[in-house]
A = this chain, B = another copy of it.
């Protein structure tokens, strides 16, 4: 069968096919609304028409979709678009019906006309030994078998037809019934159908509400067979949220140990706030539509909003953290944990401080977090923007090309030098000998921080270029501090690290997971950006340095580990107590006990059925691993007592209802306010 437009906007694939009057009542006839419906409908219709390659009669792609004005015009468009669609569908359905009928006929043939064959092992209907049977007996069996086969064939055909109908959209059942009831004349053309669904017909057969209901379903996404989520985005399921909460708590605790305070900023910024800050990556920014008013864009990172925050609120010194989602229109890659919406956990120190003192603390924070999370071995690659600029200057790269050549160098972790060199020379117009000189610096100069520093100094690689001298002296100081903080061991000095973002002015770094010598991917990055705040503030610069932890890959690793640890056991129960009842009519009593537990900070649930069987309630408790049960019966309610069952110790005890919370606590039930960091 021809595959129609897979999942998008099939106008007839409406929900369950039953257009209820209530839906019709809820529709409003606005022009915008109907225009959208017509658009969806006609585009869907054209796609189908193309898919059928003109094989169906009555399907012309003319008509709707243009600029339609006025409600009447829109309704007329809708009428004809629906009629066209319907004509197409009716034709296809008829073909399918014919095929199905033919298939059913051929399927029942061997049974009705083929006589009894010797039984074959595994053959359908086989297994009955006919040897020694009378003709009558054989006839009887044969007739039975034929009937069964025919029934099965019909069932298969019906199922197939149902499937086809579903493929076309179940909603067409309703339409079909209205325009071509069972037993109606064979050919139903678009014009004929259109006449039957005139939106302006009144009285008994008024089609207005029906058309509106169709239009609503078409335009509100109900037309799709499978609900969709935006590309590169994802939902977080409860189990993932638990892991996420654990990871965030661990990260927050590191930030808090260092005395950082938390802030939050809006998910969107003025477009101009983000413009010119991200170099070549600016094309990945999500813009909001111009709906009359300001031009906005979704935040691309948390650093630029932080700089804007500092300038707006006139904050001079702050050590802050910010955990929030950022947005990049990058090519998503689920395997690499690359999404278009993802969390960043940022830690930044702003203010005029001792040289390299905040830089050392930021790097230390990054190391503490990565050590606290179960990600295995990691390494911090580190370089200095001024050193990089000095190298470019020494190699004869003109200043206006510094940032674009940096972007090329930044690709050395994904491309080899030959490719990067080609980009520099051919795409970015760098002189070939400059590129070669740059290659001499950025290749093969990576290693232990102090070792490489000493080597570069000894070799006098940078001559007396002032920027290089300044950067190398900053790095010397930094390494001394990192040594004192016990984090120098994680650091690798690497002249090929460039970082694409334009706002960095000093130290830059990137944390990578290293698994058996193989680099798996970057999970944190940052650097110093002393000029960014000044771009927003007339009152001058605020030097800043920070790190951003991108934890999506970390979370993927944690989720897997948790699943492995658990095996078949499933997640631990999220409630402590299940309130069950024996016998009918005790729902309100269960509610009363629930309320008692909730008001005592104890998590509890009861069956949400009016009248659940006790065995079902017990099953739920066992399946979910709920540790306690409170059981109510008619007798217990009259006496004001309940039975408390400890599912772990397999003990049970009758007690007064009001004593239950205390007894639960004594038995080791966890209060909700005590479950820190777990949902």
Q: Which residues of A contact B (CB under 8 A)?
A: 9, 13, 15-16, 21-29, 33, 36, 40, 166, 170, 208-209, 212, 216-217, 219-222, 224-231, 233-238, 241-242, 244-245, 252-254, 256-259, 261-270, 272-277, 279, 286-291, 293-294, 296, 298, 308-309, 311-313, 319-320, 325, 327, 329, 341, 349, 351, 353-355, 357-358, 360-361, 364, 368, 389, 399-404, 480-481, 483-486, 502, 505, 531, 534-538, 540-541, 574-575, 587-589, 591-592, 594-595, 597-599, 601-605, 608-611, 672-673, 675-676, 679
Q: Is the pair B16, A481 in contact by a Cβ cutoff of 8 Å? A: no
Residues of B within 8 A of A602 (CB): 257
Q: Which of A221, A235, A252 has the most CB of B within 10 A?
A: A221
B220, B320, B536: the one contacting A227 at CB < 8 Å is: B536
Residues of B within 8 A of A288 (CB): 286-289, 298
In the assembled complex, the Cα of A630 lies from the Cα of B220 at a distance in Å of: 64
B259, B608, B675: the one contacting A353 at CB < 8 Å is: B608
Residues of B within 8 A of A603 (CB): 256-259
Residue of B nearest to A310 (CB): B227
Q: Is the pair B25, A268 in contact by a Cβ cutoff of 8 Å? A: no
Q: Is the pair B170, A538 in contact by a Cβ cutoff of 8 Å? A: yes
B237, B294, B309: the one contacting A235 at CB < 8 Å is: B309
Q: Is the pair B608, A270 in contact by a Cβ cutoff of 8 Å? A: no
Q: Is the pair A261, B574 in contact by a Cβ cutoff of 8 Å? A: yes
Some 13 contacts from A to B, beta carbons below 8 A apart, are A22-B505, A23-B531, A28-B404, A221-B274, A221-B535, A228-B273, A229-B270, A235-B263, A244-B264, A253-B601, A286-B289, A353-B609, A358-B608
Residues of B within 8 A of A257 (CB): 597-598, 601-604, 672
Q: Is the pair A221, B272 in contact by a Cβ cutoff of 8 Å? A: yes
In the assembled complex, the Cα of A676 lies from the Cα of B402 at a distance in Å of: 48
Q: Is the pair B259, A575 in contact by a Cβ cutoff of 8 Å? A: yes
Residues of B within 8 A of A217 (CB): 535
Also in contact, A258 and B403, with CB within 8 A (given A230-B269, A353-B609): no
Q: Which of A219, A227, A404, A599 has the most CB of B within 10 A?
A: A227
User: Nearest 9 A-B pairs (CB), nearest first?
Assistant: A220-B276, A238-B261, A233-B266, A353-B608, A287-B289, A227-B536, A484-B588, A25-B399, A354-B610
Q: Is the pair A268, B233 in contact by a Cβ cutoff of 8 Å? A: yes
Nearest Cβ on chain B to A581's Cβ, whole angstroms: 12
Q: Is the pair A672, B400 in contact by a Cβ cutoff of 8 Å? A: no
In the assembled complex, the Cα of A244 lies from the Cα of B587 at a distance in Å of: 36
Residues of B within 8 A of A252 (CB): 679
In the assembled complex, the Cα of A26 lies from the Cα of B386 at a distance in Å of: 12
Residue of B nearest to A609 (CB): B354
Also in contact, A574 and B535, with CB within 8 A (given A308-B227, A591-B481): no
Residues of B within 8 A of A233 (CB): 266, 268
Nearest Cβ on chain B to A347's Cβ, whole angstroms: 13
Residues of B within 8 A of A400 (CB): 24-25, 27-29, 208-209, 212
Besides A229-B308, A230-B269, A258-B605, 20 more A-B contacts (Cβ < 8 Å) are: A9-B272, A16-B540, A16-B541, A28-B403, A29-B400, A209-B400, A221-B276, A221-B536, A224-B536, A227-B312, A229-B312, A238-B262, A256-B603, A256-B679, A257-B604, A267-B267, A267-B327, A286-B288, A351-B608, A364-B595
